[in-house]
Structure 1
Amino acid sequence: MATRYRFGLEAYERLFQGVKGVELLEGEVYKMSPIGPKHAWKVAKLVRAFLEALGDRAVVWPQNPIRIPPHSEPQPDLAVLRPKDYGEALPTPEDILLLVEVADTSLDHDQNRKLPIYAQAGIPEVWILDLERSLLHAFRHPKEGVYTEHPILLPGEEAKPLAFPGVRIAWD
C-alpha cells in the first residue's frame, strides 16, 4: 500500500526548497508539466505586454510561487501583484491582482485543480490561456469559492484586466 503525505506550507518549503517543477496544491505535491517552446514564448510575450502596459503600477511576477495558506503554493505562469517589495516574503492572495495560467497540455489541471484554489482564496481575476484552441478564459469575481463571471475571448479580442481600467492586453 502506498503512503500518502500531506504538507503544510512550512514543511513543503523546507523539504522542496530549490526543487524545480513541483508545486503544492491543497497539501499535495504535484509535478508540473514541462515547459515547451510555444508555452515559454507565450509567457515571455505576456510578460512584455504587461510590463509595457502597467509600468510601475504593478509587479509582474513570472513563473514564481505564490502562497495560499494554509496548504497551497502554486506557481502560476504569471502573476500581476500590488507594487511592493517581495524580497522577504512570497505574495499572498491579498497581493494578487491577476493570475495567468498558460495551458499547452495543462488545461484540465489548471481549470479543475488550480482554479478552485484561486477562487477560494478570493483572487479577483484569473486568465487561463488555452494554447490548443487559441482561447482566453477570464474568470472574475469570486464568490463562495467559485468565479461568477467567465467571459471567453477569441483571437483578436484584447483582454482588459479588472484592476486596471483602460488597459488592454493583446494576448494572442
Structure 2
Amino acid sequence: MPSATYEPELDTTRPFRIRWTRDDCARFERDGLLTPGKYELIEGDILKSMGQNRAHINTVMTFIRWLFGMFGEEFVQGPGPIDVSLEDNPTSEPEPDAVVLSKPLSAFQTRNPRPDDIRLLVEISDATRYFDRGTKANLYARAEIVEYWSLDLVQRKLHVHREPRDGKYQRVTMHGEDESIASLATPESAILVSALLPPIKAE
C-alpha cells in the first residue's frame, strides 16, 4: 500500500505592520511622543536617529564646508528634511546630511526642498551604510533626485548614484580615497575622496 506524503501548509500571512504617515508624526510631536530631529520617517517606518559619533559629526562638517566653497552657503542645507516623490511623500520624510539646492535657503520658509530643487544629496554612512545604499537610494531614485552621494566611513569609499530611472539609479560608481570626483553640478571642480574622509586613527 503506497504511503501518503504529507506536505505542511505554508503560512503566507504577513506580520501586521502599521505604516505611519507625516500627519501621524506631526500629531506625535504635538503630543510629546516624538522629538523633531530625533527620528526619520522612511517608507512608513519611524526610525530613531542613531547617536552620531565624532567621526560622523566631523565628516558632515567637512563635507558642508566644501559644499559652501563650491556652491555658496545660501545654496547648501545641512541635516534636515526634504520631500520625495508624490507617491512616497505621505509616508517618507528623509533627513539627509547635506543637500545642494537650486534656490537659496530663503526660498524654503514654509516648505521642504522638493526633488526638483535638489542638485546634489549627501549621506554620511557608517552603521547605516547598507540601508543608505539600498532603501534610501531607491527612495531618492523614485524621486528622480539627479545625484546622490553616500560616503562610507567604514570602507572609506564614496558611492556615487546618478541617472535615476524606473525607481533605480542606473549608474552607480564606487571611488576609493585616492580617487577624485566632481559633482555633475560642478564638473570642473574635483576633490579627492580622502579630503572628505576623517583621518585614519594611528595604531
Counterpart position of 1:42: 59
- Structure 2, unpaired ranges of 5+: 1-14, 195-203
CA gap 1:82/1:14 in 2 versus in 1, 3 angstroms: farther
Give yes or no for the alignment of 1:8 onto 2:27. no
CA gap 1:67/1:10 in 2 versus in 1, 3 angstroms: farther
CA gap 1:83/1:169 in 2 versus in 1, 3 angstroms: farther
Q: TM-score, normalised by structure 1?
A: 0.89
SS in 2 for 1:46: helix
Counterpart position of 2:11: none
In 2, the alpha carbon distance for the partners of 1:89 and 1:20 equals 16
Shift of 1:5: 2.7
SS in 1 for 2:58: helix
In 2, the alpha carbon distance for the partners of 1:31 and 1:162 equals 32
Counterpart position of 2:179: 157
Counterpart position of 2:40: 23
Shift of 1:67: 1.8
Shift of 1:70: 2.8
RMSD over aligned CA atoms reads 1.9
Stretches (4+) displaced over 6 A: none
Out of 61, 65, 70, the residue aligned to residue 90 of structure 2 is 70
SS in 2 for 1:44: helix
- Structure 1, unpaired ranges of 5+: none
User: In 2, are the aligned partners of 1:82 and 1:96 still within 8 Å (CA)?
Assistant: yes
CA gap 1:169/1:14 in 2 versus in 1, 3 angstroms: farther
Shift of 1:18: 4.2
What is the identity, as a one-letter code, of the residue corresponding to 1:64? G
In 2, the alpha carbon distance for the partners of 1:36 and 1:161 equals 27
| Aligned length, in residue pairs | 170
CA gap 1:71/1:47 in 2 versus in 1, 3 angstroms: same
Q: TM-score, normalised by structure 2?
A: 0.77
Counterpart position of 2:102: 82
- Using CA pairs under 8 Å that are at least 6 residues apart, name the structure with larger relative contact order, 1 or 2: 1
CA gap 1:170/1:87 in 2 versus in 1, 3 angstroms: farther
